[in-house]
Amino acid sequence: MEAIESVDKVKTMFYKALEGSKNHFEHELIQDRINQAAKRFDEYEVPNKKQEDWKYSTIRQWLKKEYKTERSNNDFDIGMYEIPGFETNTLVFVNGFFRNDLSNIQFSQKGVIIQNLTESHDLFEKDIESHFDQHVEHNYFNDLNTLYHGNGLFIKVEDNTIAEYQVHIIHIQTGNGVISQPRNLIIIGKNSKLDIIESQVEVNAENCLTNQVSEFVIGENSQLNYVLSQKGENNGLIHTNRFVQKDDSRLISNVFTLKKEFVRNNHKVSIVGNATETHLNGTFMPDSGEQVDNHTLLDHQNTNGYSDEMYKGILFKNSNAVFNGKIYVARKAQKTNAFLNNANILLDDTAVMESKPELEIYADDVKCSHGSATGDLDTEALFYLQSRGIGIDAARGLLVHAFLGEVLSRVPNEIIRKAMSEQIEDRLIEMDL
């Protein structure tokens, strides 16, 4: 298979693979956004290690593969991915395309609209015009998604509406050499609330790449609770979330990257409103040959914002992880309180961690801090536990559980917190901890 090295070859490969997936391009407004993305895409250089954002990434190897788009009509046991005892509206996407036959929208509520994105183009044209492709950065992978996304997900919670039921979005990757491009647009009106859990899983998938883009708009005095679980192997994932917060809004985001050959998370928050509250939390646990690359941005653009970010990593043998978290405080964003912390445990000398927390502050009345710590398990704590009759392996397991417990405690919903705890436990058992 020929290596894809030049931008022209990459674009030719993607165009050829995706030219048949244009079922959603008929709407004039969407077509205009697609045309704009196509013009920008022609100018992009393929992401590579010479670019600061991709300096430590292994993305290049994923651009040396040939991909195809592929709809799958296979049946899947969705019960494997559902959360026991949890009342949710479940939306299932396979290779980036909505599967109505696998989904279960069992709870309807006035003021909560759940549709596939294609259907919403005409019914919610003003929302599409204001928000679709208006919040994410225009770059190589985001514009690629705009060009060729599947029939993604549209959710709108109207003003003064508390969504009574969780939304569970399940993305299934399947096949060999398949590229999937899920797209979400989620809008929460004023004085409203929504809880979302998103699961990314694989079934009989190999040499696949998922390039997902989601835009979230959180209205005035509204709240979004968001949980993301990422699992799989032998495949790559680029996951972009762009959150926009308006006045007095609140966001709690928790990301659990438990298993994947390559993951690049681009999770950024545009804090355009006054008196906002933002929590970004994450856990990542790469093993041999795996890389998890987290890039986050807390972009404070207005006054009286509060943000707290915590990412913790456990790195096993021959694994690699990157954390690049940035707090940006604009000149206007006085009285901002912003805190960022990245902590990592290397369980083997062959694990590699690149941590780069950043502060860029232009306001003078702020309280901001950032910190990073990477090392092995606390030897004094290990000695203490062993002195109490606990074996070395059990002691290591206890310390790892305690280390990750702080992130788990930040998941507000008890049922989801328990489910994520069980997924982490499964990962640790797999790694003999």
- Residue 383: partners with Cβ closer than 8 Å, 6 or more residues away: none
Find the largest Cα–Cα distance for the chain. Answer: 71
Which domain does 398 fall in, by range?
378-433
Model confidence at 7, in pLDDT bands (50, 70, 90)?
low
User: Do 86 and 206 share a domain, yes or no?
Assistant: yes
- Helices 392-408 and 379-387: crossing angle in degrees, nearest 10, is 120
Question: Does residue 28 surpass a pLDDT of 70?
Answer: yes
Question: Which among 273, 299, 330 is the end of a domain?
Answer: 273
Reading the block at residue 61, the tokens are: 């190897």
Tokens 């599947």 locate to 150
List, for residues 198-248, the tens digit of each pLDDT value.
Answer: 999 999 999 999 999 999 999 999 999 999 999 998 899 999 999 999 999
Question: Does residue 2 surpass a pLDDT of 60?
Answer: no
| Residue 318 falls inside a structural domain | no
Question: Which among 239, 273, 307 is the end of a domain?
Answer: 273
User: Do 395 and 268 share a domain, yes or no?
Assistant: no
Beta carbons of 82 and 415 less than 8 angstroms apart: no
User: Do 52 and 187 share a domain, yes or no?
Assistant: yes
pLDDT number for residue 30: 85
- Total number of domains constituting the chain: 2
Model confidence at 341, in pLDDT bands (50, 70, 90)?
very high
| Residue 301 falls inside a structural domain | no
| Residue 279 falls inside a structural domain | no
| Residue 313 falls inside a structural domain | no
Question: Which among 257, 273, 289 is the end of a domain?
Answer: 273
| Residue 344 falls inside a structural domain | no
Question: Does residue 3 surpass a pLDDT of 50?
Answer: no
| Residue 292 falls inside a structural domain | no
Residue 196, classified by CB atoms within 10 Å of its CB into exposed (0-12), middle (13-18) or buried (19+), is: buried
| Residue 343 falls inside a structural domain | no
SS3 labels along the chain: CCCCCCHHHHHHHHHHHHCCCCCCCCCHHHHHHHHHHHHHHCCCCCCCCCCHHHCCCCHHHHHCCCCECCCCCCCCCHHHCCCCCCCEEEEEEECCEECCCCCECCCCCCCEEEEEHHHHHHHCHHHHHHHCCCCCCCCHHHHHHHHHCCCCEEEEECCCCECCCEEEEEEEEEEECEEECCEEEEEECCCCEEEEEEEEEEEEEECCEEEEEEEEEECCCCEEEEEEEECCCCCEEEEEEEEEECCCCEEEEEEEECCCCEEEEEEEEEECCCCCEEEEEEEECCCCCCEEEEEEEEEECCCCCEEEEEEEEEECCCCEEEEEEEEEECCCCCCCEEEEEEEEEECCCCCEEEECCEEEECCCCCEEEEEEEEECCCHHHHHHHHHCCCCHHHHHHHHHHHHHHHHHCCCCCHHHHHHHHHHHHHHHHHCCC
Reading the block at residue 157, the tokens are: 């919670």
Distance of CA 59 to the CA centre of its chain: 17
| Residue 324 falls inside a structural domain | no
Distance of CA 227 to the CA centre of its chain: 9
User: Do 68 and 199 share a domain, yes or no?
Assistant: yes
List, for residues 353-406, the tens digit of each pLDDT value.
Answer: 999 999 999 999 999 999 999 999 888 888 888 898 998 888 888 999 999 999
Question: Does residue 285 surpass a pLDDT of 90?
Answer: yes
List, for residues 163-196, the tens digit of each pLDDT value.
Answer: 999 999 999 999 999 999 999 999 999 999 999 9
Query: Taking Cα atoms as reference points, which of 255, 188, 179 lies closest to residue 215?
Result: 188
Question: b/e map of 312-347 (b: 16 or more CB within 10 Å)?
Answer: bbbbbeebbbbbbbbbbbbeebbebebbbbbbbbbb
Which residues, in sequence order, are bridge partners of residue 371? 341
